[in-house]
Amino acid sequence: MDYRILPPDGFLEARLRLPLSKSMSNRALIINALTPGASELENVAECDDTDAMRRALSSLDADVINIGAAGTTMRFLTAFIASRPGCSLLLDGSERMRHRPIAVLVDALRSLGADIEYAGEEGFPPLRISGRRLKGGELTLDSTVSSQYISALLMVAPLMEEGLKLTLKGETVSRPYILMTLKMMSEAGIESEFAGNTVSIAPQAYKAWNFRVEGDWSAAAAWYEIEALSSGTVTIDNLCRESFQGDRKLADIFGHLGVVTEWEGEDGGSDLVASPDQDARLRIDFSDTPDLAQYVIVTCAMLGIPFHFTGLSTLAIKETDRVKAVCTEMAKLGIFMQPEGNDVLSWEGQRRPMTELPRFDTYDDHRMAMCLAPVALFVPGIIINDVEVVSKSYPEFWDELRRAGFTLLDGDAPLPDPDDE
């Protein structure tokens, strides 16, 4: 399904609740499954990624588990199944998943005693895993690729015979996600030490817990973008100021783009308020918060704010190569950006007139759809292809846009005649 999107007729006003954090939900589900005697978790995100995790954890006696396009689920389950004695199965995913590298994690688990074989191309899913209690010990891991590899290892570390002493090599990407994992493990009774670049976890048992999953800060990014482009009124009822999530940095970043976060709004919730104060040029390192990059890139392009962004290398192994994809779609607006290697993207304001209303592709990537939709505020009538991709993390996104006053037409519908009342 495709949508043609028209902006609100008047002043934009929106009040909403964010979906629950899928990052926290997936960690909670794994920790809960590792906890003796724990009851089933109820307060978790309802989206494709979390649904894939729940289905997989309830199907561990199957011969094959296919997790579709859920990258976090693939990485976390690889470590979970490898450390589960008596569990033997094939872990597979979508065609895109079969091209997302996993060798760093597999090599690490093998060195700790895991029995994992590649069932297809070397270094990529599908994986044939025979679970056992892992020996553990000391391990040095390349931490420049994905923090999910690290979190996957940390969550199963307490069950290893010797525990785990993990030394991170290189500039660690998405470090806040590692801290989130350790904080959630602590809530479940696990003691750890993170000193310098080394995390140490002794053998110990998880304890039953009752953890509250926060609203998803990464899902808030589209609403910060909408506020920056509309200067309307957006109120979010479940935005957690003292959050475990690294994407909490979103509020600080958009402060440079003219969006002030008032944490205690007049009617409760947190108000996003427009400010005339915008940076003339933006420089940001996204190493800790790569999932925010697309929204900030599109916002800067629409507002005409030049930028120099670094820390983008992990975006190449997401649902799509996100930097390449966003550059391709911005070109449809006459906005031309050229990546510098796989880590840097700069823009000096180059643009040409559009030749036609753009029809944006989404590349099976939920964040591409959500970062491009607000462009309708500047270019009414844009079309977003394959809108169902948002179900991966934010199934209610399009309904929330409607409630905020946007009009969503069928992608093949003509533009309304402005003379029609």
Residues serving a catalytic function are 291
| DSSP helix/strand/coil, 331 | helix
- Using a 10 angstrom Cβ sphere, with 0-12 exposed, 13-18 middle and 19 or more buried, the burial of residue 233 is middle
Beta strand 164-169 pairing with 127-130? unpaired
Q: How far apart are CA 231 and CA 12, in angstroms?
A: 8
Q: How many helices (H) and strands (E) does the chain have?
A: 12, 20
∠ CA 404-410-415, rounded to 5° = 85
Query: What's the per-residue H, E or C state across 183-236?
Result: HHHHHCCCCCEEECCEEEECCCCCCCCCCCCCECHHHHHHHHHHHHHHCCEEEE
- Using a 10 angstrom Cβ sphere, with 0-12 exposed, 13-18 middle and 19 or more buried, the burial of residue 154 is buried
Rg value, the chain, Cα: 22
Reference 276, options 257, 295, 299, 302; nearest CA is 257
Give every CB contact of residue 292 below 8 A, 6+ residues apart in sequence: 218, 221, 247, 249, 250, 253, 286
DSSP 416: P
Query: Is residue 203 within 8 Å of 158, Cβ to Cβ?
Result: yes
Beta strand 344-347 pairing with 338-340? antiparallel
Residue 395: enclosing H or E segment and its boundaries? none
Q: How far apart are CA 255 and CA 37, in angstroms?
A: 45
